[in-house]
């Protein structure tokens, strides 16, 4: 991996690994306008959504832009078909380049559509939310939901580059900041106890007020996720740890249409409770995680219908035959993959 760091901030990105043949370049702290130095404007198609387009209209003026309806409910095959129809209508060919500008829904759909159009054209992302900067745009998993089943159809293909323009966060609504911090806290819980301690000292408001602090936080999280993906792109082992809080989280998110970060937050606390009963994870550490999630305005419990949740969980991609890999904690900063029998899991959920 080649890292191009165009950043005025001393971030952790220097340490992003450069091993393997994974992925492309990261342009940190780079203006969106720099895009025209990287790709040919006349053969590039930008895919974004109505929210990002309306907040940043001047950015897109000189670009060919395909605008999607905003929201997770549009992360469906019908939207991919719409993109493909638009690419055909605009004479996109195999040499065309596609750039997804937006949050996780936009980047996931863009990566998927680009990977299947004419059997694959090159693509890149400009993430515009905290969640997509620290998580969704990184890792190459791209796809769509099928009805209630999240990311059931998709593939793993890495973008050519990611461009991080932190000024795009200025128009990010507050609930989206909260959403993104659920993944930041997840990274701290599974991999980085020091980051956990840092987050305990800080707050969303502090990061919003100090762009340098925010840049360092984002780059540290990019490093965590990238390191995991570089070492296990196809999720044979360590990459599974990134699913901490996501098994139950995805089921709750889809059933109750909760924001992703809220659902993951609830899922992380449920996973902590399971960790307490199966791994001697300490109650005081669960309480610390709960307090941190609350500090970042995230919910830690939800009254869900256990029968309905169980019906969705049974269809989770992580189920293999009669067991499922569940991510639990040994301690804050250290997660493990535990295979749990479906009958035992059903008891734990109930």
Smallest separation, CB 140 to ligand GLY (Å)? 5
Which phi and psi angles does 71 have, rounded to 5°?
120, 150
Q: Does 127 bind ligand GLY (CB under 6 A)?
A: no
Smallest separation, CB 231 to ligand GLY (Å)? 14
CB 189 within 8 A of CB 289: yes
Q: Does 259 bind ligand GLY (CB under 6 A)?
A: no
CA proximity to 273, closest of 295, 290, 259 = 290
Q: Does 100 bind ligand GLY (CB under 6 A)?
A: no
Instruction: Please identify, using beta-carbon distances, which residue of 80 and 345 lies nearer to ligand GLY.
Output: 80
Q: Which of 11, 140, 180, 261 binds ligand GLY (CB under 6 A)?
A: 140
Q: Which of 102, 139, 159, 245 binds ligand GLY (CB under 6 A)?
A: 139
Q: Is 330 helix (H, G, I), strand (E, B) or coil?
A: strand
- Distant-in-sequence, close-in-space partners of 320: CB < 8 Å, separation ≥ 6: none
- Distant-in-sequence, close-in-space partners of 185: CB < 8 Å, separation ≥ 6: 196, 199, 265, 268, 289, 292, 293, 296, 298
DSSP H or E stretch at residue 320: strand 319-320
Q: Does 75 bind ligand GLY (CB under 6 A)?
A: no
Instruction: Please identify, using beta-carbon distances, which residue of 108 and 316 lies nearer to ligand GLY.
Output: 108
Smallest separation, CB 306 to ligand GLY (Å)? 28
164 alpha carbon, distance to own chain's centre: 14
Q: Does 267 bind ligand GLY (CB under 6 A)?
A: no
Half-sphere CA count of 272, side-chain side, radius 13 A: 24
Smallest separation, CB 203 to ligand GLY (Å)? 26
List the x/- string, 2-21, binding to ligand GLY by CB under 6 A. Answer: --------------------
Q: Does 245 bind ligand GLY (CB under 6 A)?
A: no
Q: Which of 131, 136, 218, 327 binds ligand GLY (CB under 6 A)?
A: 136
Instruction: Please identify, using beta-carbon distances, which residue of 130 and 345 lies nearer to ligand GLY.
Output: 130
The Cα–Cα gap between 205 and 203 comes to 5
CB 330 within 8 A of CB 282: no
Give the interface segment with ligand GLY, choosing from 133-141, 257-265, 297-305, 330-338 (CB under 6 A): 133-141
Instruction: Please identify, using beta-carbon distances, which residue of 165 and 183 lies nearer to ligand GLY.
Output: 183
Which residue's beta carbon is nearest to the bound ligand GLY? 139
CB 207 within 8 A of CB 185: no
Q: Does 23 bind ligand GLY (CB under 6 A)?
A: no
- Edge-to-edge order in the sheet of strand 323-331: 319-320, 323-331, 334-341
CA proximity to 162, closest of 102, 242, 91, 82 = 102
CB 83 within 8 A of CB 113: yes
The Cα–Cα gap between 188 and 171 comes to 26
What separation, in Å, do the N-terminal and C-terminal C-alpha atoms of the chain show? 44
Instruction: Please identify, using beta-carbon distances, which residue of 66 and 136 lies nearer to ligand GLY.
Output: 136
Smallest separation, CB 238 to ligand GLY (Å)? 13
Q: Does 180 bind ligand GLY (CB under 6 A)?
A: no
Q: Which of 75, 122, 141, 220 binds ligand GLY (CB under 6 A)?
A: 141
In the complex, the residues that contact ligand GLY under the rule CB under 6 A are 108, 136, 139-141
């Amino acid at each position: 991996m080649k890292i191009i760091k165009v950043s005025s901030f001393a971030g952790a990105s220097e340490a992003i690994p450069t091993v393997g043949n994974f992925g492309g370049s990261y342009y940190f702290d780079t203006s969106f306008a720099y895009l025209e130095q990287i790709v040919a404007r006349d053969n590039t198609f930008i895919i974004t959504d109505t929210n990002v387009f309306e907040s940043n209209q001047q950015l897109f003026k000189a670009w060919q832009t395909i605008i999607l309806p905003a929201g997770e409910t549009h992360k469906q095959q019908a939207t991919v078909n719409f993109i493909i129809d638009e690419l055909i209508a605009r004479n996109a060919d195999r040499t065309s380049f596609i750039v997804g500008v937006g949050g996780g829904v936009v980047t996931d759909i863009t990566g998927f559509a680009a990977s299947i159009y004419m059997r694959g054209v090159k693509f890149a992302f400009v993430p515009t939310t905290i969640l997509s900067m620290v998580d969704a745009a990184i890792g190459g998993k791209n796809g769509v939901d099928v009805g209630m089943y999240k990311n059931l159809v998709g593939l793993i293909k890495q973008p050519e580059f990611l461009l991080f323009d932190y000024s795009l966060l200025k128009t990010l609504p507050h609930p989206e900041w909260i959403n993104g911090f659920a993944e930041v806290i997840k990274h701290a819980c599974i991999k980085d106890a020091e980051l956990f301690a840092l987050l305990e000292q800080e707050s969303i408001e502090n990061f919003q007020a100090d762009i340098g602090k925010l840049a360092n936080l984002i780059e540290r999280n990019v490093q965590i996720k990238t390191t995991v993906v570089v070492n296990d792109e196809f999720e044979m082992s360590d990459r599974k740890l990134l699913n901490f809080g996501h098994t139950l989280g995805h089921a709750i998110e889809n059933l109750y249409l909760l924001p992703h970060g809220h659902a993951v937050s609830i899922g992380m606390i449920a996973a902590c409770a399971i960790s307490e009963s199966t791994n001697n994870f300490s109650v005081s550490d669960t309480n610390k995680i709960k307090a941190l999630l609350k500090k970042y305005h995230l919910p830690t419990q939800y009254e869900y219908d256990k029968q309905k949740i169980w019906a969705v969980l049974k269809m989770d991609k992580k189920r293999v035959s009669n067991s499922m890999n569940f991510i639990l904690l040994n301690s804050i900063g250290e997660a493990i993959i535990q295979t749990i029998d479906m009958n035992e899991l059903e008891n734990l959920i109930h």
